[in-house]
């Protein structure tokens, strides 16, 4: 092609279309679904960006299924994604952190839809009111039931069955990062043209890093393996660049994104207070686990691979160890040694 026609900017929409030949099936459908998520992300971004101005900060006065206080933006983001997915025509059901039951989409345009979406519409909501990075996490599966009413089994698939997964980070810039199983690509929102533009092609997480991310305030409640691993991170050793830095934002998406770029490990272990961990398998852990693996990293529940866990409920929780492969592997070794299952 003559260089005059070469594009210097590749938008998310262009990239999805160009890559759709890679999809094993239903090429156009998955492309449209990803596009719909991108559009909803832009709408949520618009609101997040003016959060200090409009009357959208603070609690809404209700709790979600997990008894967590809902923020106004949690509810707004949930509505935006549900509405975009319902009118897009490619999604037949949604499992959201904010809804106890799965949501079956019965709009006319969706009657032949073949995908289900799991979503954490706003992750890190305790950071909304203080202008700290938050995000959205999503995971897409093909429905397994053949037709009719959607079944719970359509959602209770192992993470290995995902066909696309991604997150949006509303940070100092807004980015959308996703995978369809052929590597990980990141797009930065250019507000002047209102488009996500390819900025981080083929992302790879360094094999090891110098950052550990964990809510150390819960130290007394951690399993012995995690306590010992933290001690390891804090010991001085020039060869491994220890002691490592401790970095914890409290927004999983933001902590994960930083460690993906720089190398590091994020841990939300089982604690005495949350014996199964805090984070949710379907719409927090599985999508990030697939992304990290596609970027060359590792995700574990402390003993084995996250993507191999057979889910048995929509809002199931799991301990979560994710990031640079060598760091996660070592944390698993500490668990095996000090905290047998
Ligand atoms: P959400 O806002 O979707 O409920 O998720 C909050 C999660 C996650 O984003 C974060 O890493 C973790 O909770 C922080 O928990 P702690 O405050 O217990 O550290
Ligand atoms: Mn979350
Ligand atoms: Mn959330």
Q: Which atom of ligand 1 is nearest to the CA of 127?
A: 2
Among 119, 120, 215, 222, the mutation site with the greatest number of ligand 1 atoms within 8 A of its Cβ is: 215
- Give yes or no for residue 4 having a pLDDT over 70: no
Ligand nearest 250 Cα, by number?
1
Which protein residues have a CB closer than 5 Å to ligand 2 (ion)?
Answer: 120, 123
Q: Mean pLDDT of all residues in the chain? A: 92
- State the average pLDDT over residues 177-198: 96
- State the average pLDDT over residues 127-143: 95
Instruction: Give the least confident one: 24-28, 200-204, 337-341.
Output: 24-28
Res 48: pLDDT:
87
Q: Which atom of ligand 1 is nearest to the CA of 120?
A: 3
Number of helices followed by number of strands (H, E) in the chain: 7, 15
pTM above 0.75, yes or no: yes
Res 1: pLDDT:
47
What's the gap in Å between 45 CA and the centre of ligand 3? 15
Q: Which atom of ligand 1 is nearest to the CA of 215?
A: 19
Question: Atom 11 of ligand 1 has which residue's CA nearest to it?
Answer: 252
What's the gap in Å between 125 CA and the centre of ligand 3? 6
Res 309: pLDDT:
98
Ligand nearest 269 Cα, by number?
1
The alpha carbon dihedral of 89, 95, 101, 102 has a sign of positive
Q: Which atom of ligand 1 is nearest to the CA of 124?
A: 2
Res 67: pLDDT:
62
Q: How far apart are CA 209 and CA 324, in angstroms?
A: 7
Res 49: pLDDT:
87
Q: How far apart are CA 193 and CA 249, in angstroms?
A: 30
Q: Which domains does the chain have, with CATH numbers?
A: 7-200 (3.30.540.10), 211-338 (3.40.190.80)
Q: How far apart are CA 3 and CA 84, in angstroms?
A: 37
Give the pocket of ligand 1 (CB within 6 Å): 68, 97, 120, 123-125, 215, 250-252, 278
- Give yes or no for residue 5 having a pLDDT over 60: no
Instruction: Summarize pLDDT for 9-65 with one digit per residue, the tens.
Output: 999 999 998 888 776 666 788 899 999 999 999 999 998 888 777 565 666 666 766
Question: Atom 3 of ligand 1 has which residue's CA nearest to it?
Answer: 123
Question: Atom 12 of ligand 1 has which residue's CA nearest to it?
Answer: 250
Among 221, 251, 284, the mutation site with the greatest number of ligand 1 atoms within 8 A of its Cβ is: 251
- Give yes or no for residue 133 having a pLDDT over 60: yes
Q: Is 267 helix (H, G, I), strand (E, B) or coil?
A: strand
Q: Which atom of ligand 1 is nearest to the CA of 66?
A: 4
Instruction: Summarize pLDDT for 217-249 with one digit per residue, the tens.
Output: 999 999 999 999 999 999 999 999 999 999 999
What's the gap in Å between 75 CA and the centre of ligand 3? 10
Q: Which atom of ligand 1 is nearest to the CA of 249?
A: 11
Look up residue 132 and give its two tokens.
């700290």
Res 199: pLDDT:
97
Q: What is the DSSP letter of 152?
A: G
What's the gap in Å between 306 CA and the centre of ligand 2? 16
Closest CA to 149 of 101, 99, 96, 80: 101
Instruction: Summarize pLDDT for 256-312 with one digit per residue, the tens.
Output: 999 999 999 999 999 988 999 999 999 999 999 999 999 999 999 999 999 999 999
What's the gap in Å between 338 CA and the centre of ligand 2? 29
Q: Which atom of ligand 1 is nearest to the CA of 68?
A: 4
- Give yes or no for residue 2 having a pLDDT over 50: no
Question: Atom 6 of ligand 1 has which residue's CA nearest to it?
Answer: 124
Instruction: Name the H helices within 198-318.
Output: 224-234, 252-262, 286-294
């Amino acid at each position: 092609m003559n260089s005059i026609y070469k594009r210097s900017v590749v938008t998310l929409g262009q990239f999805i279309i160009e890559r759709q030949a890679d999809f094993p099936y239903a090429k156009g459908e998955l492309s449209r679904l990803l596009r719909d998520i991108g559009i909803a992300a832009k709408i949520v971004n618009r609101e997040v960006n003016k959060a200090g101005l409009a009357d959208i900060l603070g609690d809404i006065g209700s709790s979600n299924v997990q008894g967590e206080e809902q923020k106004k933006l949690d509810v707004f983001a949930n509505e935006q994604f549900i509405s975009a997915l319902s009118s897009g025509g490619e999604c037949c059901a949604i499992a959201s952190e904010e809804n106890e039951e799965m949501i079956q989409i019965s709009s006319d345009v969706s009657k032949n839809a073949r995908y289900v979406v799991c979503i954490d519409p706003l992750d890190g909501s305790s950071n909304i009111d203080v202008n700290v990075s938050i995000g959205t996490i999503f995971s897409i599966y093909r429905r397994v039931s053949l037709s009719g009413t959607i079944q719970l089994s359509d959602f209770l698939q192992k993470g290995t069955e995902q066909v696309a997964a991604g997150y949006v980070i509303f940070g100092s810039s807004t980015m959308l990062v996703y995978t369809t199983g052929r590597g990980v690509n990141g797009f930065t929102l250019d507000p002047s043209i209102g488009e996500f533009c390819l900025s981080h092609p083929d992302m790879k997480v360094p094999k090891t890093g110098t950052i550990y991310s964990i809510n150390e305030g819960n130290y007394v409640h951690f399993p012995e393996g995690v306590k010992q691993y933290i001690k390891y991170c804090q010991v001085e050793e020039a060869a491994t660049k220890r002691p490592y830095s401790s970095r914890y934002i409290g927004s999983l998406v933001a902590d994960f994104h930083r460690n993906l770029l720089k190398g590091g490990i994020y841990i939300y272990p089982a604690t005495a207070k949350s014996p199964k961990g805090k984070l949710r398998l379907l719409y927090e852990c599985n999508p990030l686990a697939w992304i990290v693996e596609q970027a060359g990293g590792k995700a574990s529940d402390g003993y084995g691979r996250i993507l191999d866990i057979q889910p048995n409920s929509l809002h199931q929780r799991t301990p979560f160890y994710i990031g640079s492969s060598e760091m996660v592997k070592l944390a698993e070794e500490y668990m095996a040694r000090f905290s047998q299952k």
